[in-house]
Amino acid sequence: MRPYPLIRLLCEPSPIRPTSFDNVAFIVHSRPFIAAAILTTLSSIALTLGQTPGPAATNPDRMAWFRHDKFGMFIHWGPYSALAGEWNGQQIPPHTEAEWIMQRLNIPVKEYRERAHQFNPTNFNADAWVNLAKATGMKYLVVTAKHHDGFAMYHSKVSEYNIVDWTPFKRDPLKELSDACQRAGIRFSVYYSHREDWDDPNGFGNNWDYDPAKKDFSQYLENKSKPQLRELLTNYGPLGLVWFDRGMDTPKHAAEFADLVHSLQPQCLINGRIGSYKQELMGDYQDMTDNGMPSGGLEEDWETPQTLNTTWGYSKFDQEWKTPGVVIHRLVEIVSKGGNYLLNIGPMADGTVPQPSIATLNEVGRWMSRNSESIYGTTASTLREFPWGRTTVKGSTLYLHVFSWPADRTIRLSGLTNGVNSAHLLVDPSHKLPVASQDGNILVTVPVSMPDTRDTVIVLDLDRPPVVDPVFVTQDSDTGFELNYLTAVTSGNAKKRFNRDGGFHIAKWTAPEDTVSWFLSVSSAGKYAIKIRYAAPKEWKDGQYILTVGSHELKNPVKPTGDWYQYATFDAGTILFPKAGQYKLELKPAEKYSHYLMYFESLTLEPLE
């Protein structure tokens, strides 16, 4: 079939002409906002400030499997699974993580250890878990080797407080899981709580049994945490990744753990929770907050850990199971935004997986067995979210994931400038679907009834990888513009990123070629006040930024705001849009710096008169 002609949206960038800006004038305000300069101690972060900015070890080679696989199984399992949300007649509060029971109910170490003594999961079958992951379409598995309770779920020589030496079970589930993963072709990985340990007198977190003033954290690190990590990296074959949690407070400690991992297994990935959540995130990729879903557009590798009900470890009280449809939609949503889905199961004390989890995962697996081509190896879609569903991309193939079947049998795609060679149902390539273009939209005609009521996937064979028109930010007649990472177009090293404190921002830009642009559809001519919101530690104070519209330029210094993610708003001058129309606004570093320009959050343009 001949490709359809190039289709363009009405609001395309071409009408933007230099002449649009002829009358634009900038006036630099001399009264900048005073930032809330909370200059907390910066000594602990000085280490990373001098280094090349950015996540410590993003290595495309190492990342290849992670970028392809998309879907993993998380397993939270330990002595807390036997308590199942209750201890001595006391129940953990609703929606509390059951694996936190020791801390929530301040169970004394002695008593928790007694309960751990009785842990005997005689029905544990590693192949059953791994086969469940495989049948669901999951490609990697991350199991708790040690959670915050300090109990090792593998045979550790470092501490007898482990499942082999401390319980009647006497087997090493991690060894069995690692072997089962190898048999099934699933990538084996471990979760290790490296900072938090409620059993160790020097570990972080237990202040009900141990006096924090008497703790020697380095003793814990050197005598338990690092040696146990070394065991895991030595005795369980190649690990896909080490999943750290509740990061180290100092970059120095985090770097020691990262070095340990890479000295023993150079290909092993490290998640972003290895270091402090309040500083520049380290690791090969970033984890969203628990059950977190970004609005979209992130330009770094990421994953979101999510629960199947509301807790990670098993709780007999929590029956709020997600349906297969919800899980499939989340998987697609995450993958359409370029992320990985790490979906948790919380096995019970006897080693079996709760039946509702199995039922849901089996259904998801059925969907994956027909549609996984639209998940594995795909990349984020730059198309907008549509009311009917989401899109994923693989080269010149665009997958339309239709969650709601259109009553008029027409799927409308706006913003895509490509030609379309053909369209068909993924489950039936011989079933070609008619494609047309109308008013800048691509229209795909679908059958009357929805073949898969959860998500029917339609495959579009495009003339080249998708090229999407930029989004024009519009304004109501009397309000201004809010410009943030979502509508920004980045180039060079400027990247849209996640951070634990501020949510999302733009970072990694260090030179004038690292630009961030917005396309504005200005409906009210006139003067606008510009406010810029960002965070910048004091070491970035020599930076200057340039705002450009056409040939008009505004240069301002970057003012330190205090700590890493301490955002503040500053006046950045004014701008005159002489007439209604379309404009491009660009923000960039004025010169090359040895650090990021700023953690940019937003620009607002407020009409002045």
Which residues contact ligand FHN (rule: CB under 6 A)? Answer: 97, 99-100, 245-246, 290, 305, 312
* Beta carbons within 8 Å of 398's beta carbon, 6+ residues apart: 381, 383, 391, 392, 416, 459, 460, 462, 466
Q: Is 80 or 534 the residue whose CB approaches ligand FHN more closely? A: 80
Smallest separation (angstroms) from ligand FHN to the CB of 283? 14
Residues whose CB falls within 8 Å of the CB of residue 293, separated by 6 or more in sequence, listed in order:
304, 330, 333, 334
Taking the complex as a whole, the smallest distance from the CB of residue 590 to ligand FHN amounts, in Å, to: 39
CB distance 109 to 41 below 8 Å: no
Residue with tokens 């030595």: 234
- For residue 501, the minimal CB distance to ligand FHN (Å) is 14
Residues 6+ apart with CB under 8 A from 409: 445, 446, 447, 448
Angle, to 10 degrees, between the axis of helix 355-371 and the axis of helix 324-336? 50
- When the beta carbons of 76 and 454 are compared against ligand FHN, the nearer one is 76
Q: What are the tokens at 436?
A: 């047309």
Residue 215 or 246: which CB sits closer to ligand FHN? 246
For the bound state, the minimum distance from the C-beta of residue 160 to ligand FHN, rounded and expressed in Å, comes to: 24
Helix (H, G, I), strand (E, B) or coil at 247: coil
Min dist CB 433 to ligand FHN, Å, is 40
> Residue 204 Cβ, how far from ligand FHN at the closest point, in Å?
12
Beta carbons of 313 and 80 less than 8 angstroms apart: yes
* Cross-strand pairs, 414: 441
Classify the phi-psi angles of 291: left when phi > 0, otherwise alpha if psi is within -120 to 50, otherwise beta.
Answer: left
Cα 441 from Cα 463, distance rounded (Å): 16
The residue number whose beta carbon is nearest to ligand FHN equals 305
Question: Which DSSP category does 212 fall into?
Answer: G
- The answer to whether the beta carbons of residues 242 and 261 sit under 8 Å apart is yes
CB distance 603 to 530 below 8 Å: yes
Least distance (Å) between residue 305 CB and ligand FHN: 4
Q: Which residues have CB under 8 Å from 70's CB, separation 6+?
A: 139, 331, 334, 335, 340, 341, 375, 376, 378
Residue 45 per-residue DSSP state = G
Task: Report the residue number, 143 or 494, with the smaller CB distance to ligand FHN.
Answer: 143
- Show the tokens assigned to 129: 């878990």
Q: 300 to each of 71, 330, 342, how far by Cα in Å? A: 17, 19, 17
DSSP code, position 436: E
Least CB distance to ligand FHN at residue 330 (A) = 15
Q: How far is the CB of 345 from ligand FHN (least distance, A)?
A: 12
Return the number of the residue (246 or 527) whose C-beta is nearest ligand FHN. Answer: 246
DSSP 540: G
Closest approach of Cβ 252 to ligand FHN, in Å? 22
Smallest distance, ligand FHN to C-beta of residue 64, A: 24
At closest approach, how far in Å is the CB of 315 from ligand FHN?
12
Contact 147, 192 (CB under 8 A): no
- In terms of phi and psi (left: phi > 0; alpha: psi -120 to 50; beta: otherwise), the region of 137 is left
54 closest CA partner among 280, 250, 300, 243: 280
> Which residue, 245 or 455, has its beta carbon nearer to ligand FHN?
245
